[in-house]
A and B are shown apart, each in its own frame.
Chain A
Amino acid sequence: MRARTLALELRRSSGPLAGALVAIAGLCGLYLPAATGEASLWDGQWSMLAGYQRIMLVVLWPLAVGAGGWHAGRDRAARMEELIATTPQPRWRRVLPGALLVAACLAVGYAAILAAGAVRVVTRTSYAHPGWVPVALVGALSLVAAGLLGAGVARLVPSKYTPLALVLVGFAAVVLPPEALGWGEHGAAMLLLPELLVELDEFTAVATRVNVGQAVWFGALAVSGLVLTVVGRRRWAWAATVPAVAGMLVALAVLRPVADAPIVPDAGAAAEVCTHDGGPAVCVTRAHAKRLPALVAPARQALRALAVLPDAPTSVHEVVHPGTQPVAQVWLSVDNVDPRHDADEVTARILGGAGTQFCPGSAHYRERAVAAAWLFGRYPAPGFEMLPPGEAVARDRAWQALRALPADDQVQRIAAIRRAGLVCGDLSAAIEGR
């Protein structure tokens, strides 16, 4: 395989076009959500970008299968098949450069999508880690497998209808199983699909076993496609089933233990990054380290407001999951660390529930909002204006009731809310003094 052959194939094959189509489709997939303000689906973290790109394989994978099939029909479309077969070269030497080039172009197109997304991700997070790389590599490998498989099948069934059939069957193969079963975890067999069926957030990663199993499976598929493409006699084509079946069995064995939990917490992303400037500590997760400078002033403002309480907290921490909150800490839910909030709103949000964690399942929005307003010194506190219908009256009443108490009792009630919030307790009992 000389460089000259490859250069010729580069000019004369549909590979570069296929790669460009992959890149364009991927760019649309990345930046159309940006048009609807949903770029946060992927721009928060590297693993989210890699995972979102894998979701886009729903489109890219059938495209790659079709591109491989189209390439394999090139000689026939030009009515050159028999003429070329007369050259004294074995089949594999004639077809291997072109097939590998198309596969490589597909992978380059996939990498181009990653690069286009990276431009935006670097501005959002400073948490750089290698954990997302396998996810992206498996995606690129699945495109390579798709291209080679398409070329192999088109070689077996040489017809002008083959590329269309490949695209339609490929699309059905990636769309119908999740459509029938729904998103989420459905056992090891569903993990054989190229697309990722679970959304990643900033604090999750794909389990290593999943990446390994999928790499085995798509590597085996690529080998099968390659065998189909290059094998000299068509009657030896059955040999292509061997790597595919073997790969599937190995992959299923690897994937089965993690089928129920393909997504694992990313401890590195949730690790704390704190201020070390001598003032009260303000800590955020590493994934949000870029947002720390903007958070420091509002967080310390909140600590000053909380100083009126007995056992006042001395540090602010962003937390991903609720747990046992220490008395000396203010916990801030990860959802509230949002660059769109202004300083006052951030302070008020930190003061929600008197600086206690947000407990899903026992949310107590009313008590949290009243405590925030009392500590912030304004009712309603900024960021707490949005109310479900009917809540406004009840919240006003709770606020009036609190303000009607003597000043010392008000402090006691807010302190009670804080004590209850620390352990995800009953905030409504606390505010009523029960």
Chain B
Amino acid sequence: MMRFLLLYARSRQIPGTLAAATVAMAVVALAGQSHAAVSAAFAVASGAALLGFGLSGPDDRLEQTGARRWATWRAAHLAAIALVTAAVVLVSTTAPTALVLRDAAGFAGLAALAARLLGARLAWAPPVAMGAAVVVLPVLPEPYVIALLTWPAQPPGNVSAAVAAVVLATLGGGLYVLRGSRA
């Protein structure tokens, strides 16, 4: 088991991306203390973007032939991404905990959705685009388009932001867990 775990991590280049993601998230969250919600959201986005590269191995089809419950592994991997991004950002930001947890779930789902639809090589693009939208758009409750586009930085009580995160997490997570990355 331990040996498999190590091989799995190596095949997905997890040590390198994890180190890079940790540094990136901490730097973004710490440097942007003056806009805590926005910087926390962008930190989670950049973490999910970097870790998203690991959502597929060098040869997924070959792996399929192995006698493993790959769906379980994919689910665990995705949950780990959400947990790691949440943990790193929570230590380095002053933004509310609920906001960080919501964003971690939503962005992990978005990265998974992108991996399923575009392939793991491009899984970073939608999270980064979403994160950039939060940085450049004003975070307002009205009109609805703006509220939805800036869901990651909306206050924790915002219902549509929570719904957006849940939809991304279940849709992206579900598709990825069932089907894996696009080849």
Say yes or no for A160: interface residue by CB 8 A criterion.
yes
A394 to nearest B CB, angstroms? 34
Say yes or no for A164: interface residue by CB 8 A criterion.
yes
Say yes or no for B140: interface residue by CB 8 A criterion.
yes
Could you tell me which residues of chain B, from 107 to 150, have a CB within 8 Å of some CB in chain A? Answer: 121, 124-125, 128, 132, 135-137, 140, 142-143, 145-146, 149
Could you tell me which residues of chain A, from 346 to 376, have a CB within 8 Å of some CB in chain B? Answer: none
- Determine which of A36, A58, A161, A163 lies in contact with B146 in the assembled complex, contact meaning CB atoms within 8 Å: A36
Check if B50 sits within 8 Å of A164, measured CB to CB: yes
Say yes or no for A3: interface residue by CB 8 A criterion.
no
Could you tell me which residues of chain A, from 276 to 297, have a CB within 8 Å of some CB in chain B? Answer: none
Check if A168 sits within 8 Å of B137, measured CB to CB: no
Q: Mark A139-179, 1 if CB is under 8 A from B, else 0.
A: 00000000000000000000011011001100100010000
Q: Mark A32-54, 1 if CB is under 8 A from B, else 0.
A: 10011000000000000000000
A59 to B125 Cα, complex, angstroms: 13
Check if B132 sits within 8 Å of A59, measured CB to CB: yes
Say yes or no for B49: interface residue by CB 8 A criterion.
yes
A62 to chain B: which residues have CB within 8 Å?
Answer: 132
Say yes or no for A392: interface residue by CB 8 A criterion.
no
B53 to chain A: which residues have CB within 8 Å?
Answer: 160-161
Check if A164 sits within 8 Å of B146, measured CB to CB: no
Task: Give the A interface residue count (CB, 8 A).
Answer: 16
A32 to nearest B CB, angstroms? 6
Check if A167 sits within 8 Å of B128, measured CB to CB: yes
Say yes or no for A327: interface residue by CB 8 A criterion.
no
Q: Mark A47-72, 1 if CB is under 8 A from B, else 0.
A: 00000000000110010001000000
B29 to nearest A CB, angstroms? 14
Say yes or no for A77: interface residue by CB 8 A criterion.
yes
B136 to chain A: which residues have CB within 8 Å?
Answer: 58-59
A48 to B4 Cα, complex, angstroms: 60
Say yes or no for B46: interface residue by CB 8 A criterion.
yes
Check if A32 sits within 8 Å of B132, measured CB to CB: no
B121 to chain A: which residues have CB within 8 Å?
Answer: 77, 160
Say yes or no for B14: interface residue by CB 8 A criterion.
no
A36 to chain B: which residues have CB within 8 Å?
Answer: 140, 142-143, 146
A59 to chain B: which residues have CB within 8 Å?
Answer: 132, 136
A301 to B73 Cα, complex, angstroms: 79
Q: Mark A401-415, 1 if CB is under 8 A from B, else 0.
A: 000000000000000
Say yes or no for B24: interface residue by CB 8 A criterion.
yes
A22 to B131 Cα, complex, angstroms: 17
Check if A168 sits within 8 Å of B145, measured CB to CB: no
Cβ-closest 9 pairs across A and B: A164-B124, A35-B143, A160-B121, A35-B145, A59-B136, A58-B136, A167-B128, A59-B132, A36-B143
- List residues of B whose CB falls within 8 A of some A CB: 17, 20, 24, 46, 49-50, 53, 121, 124-125, 128, 132, 135-137, 140, 142-143, 145-146, 149
Ordered by A's residue number, 27 sampled pairs between the chains whose C-beta atoms are within 8 Å are: A32-B137, A32-B146, A32-B149, A35-B143, A35-B145, A35-B146, A36-B140, A36-B143, A36-B146, A58-B136, A59-B132, A59-B136, A62-B132, A66-B125, A77-B121, A160-B121, A161-B20, A161-B53, A164-B50, A164-B124, A164-B128, A168-B24, A168-B46, A168-B128, A171-B132, A171-B135, A175-B135
Given contacts A35-B146, A36-B140, A62-B132, 10 further A-B contacts (CB under 8 A): A35-B143, A35-B145, A59-B132, A77-B121, A161-B17, A163-B124, A167-B128, A168-B24, A171-B132, A175-B135
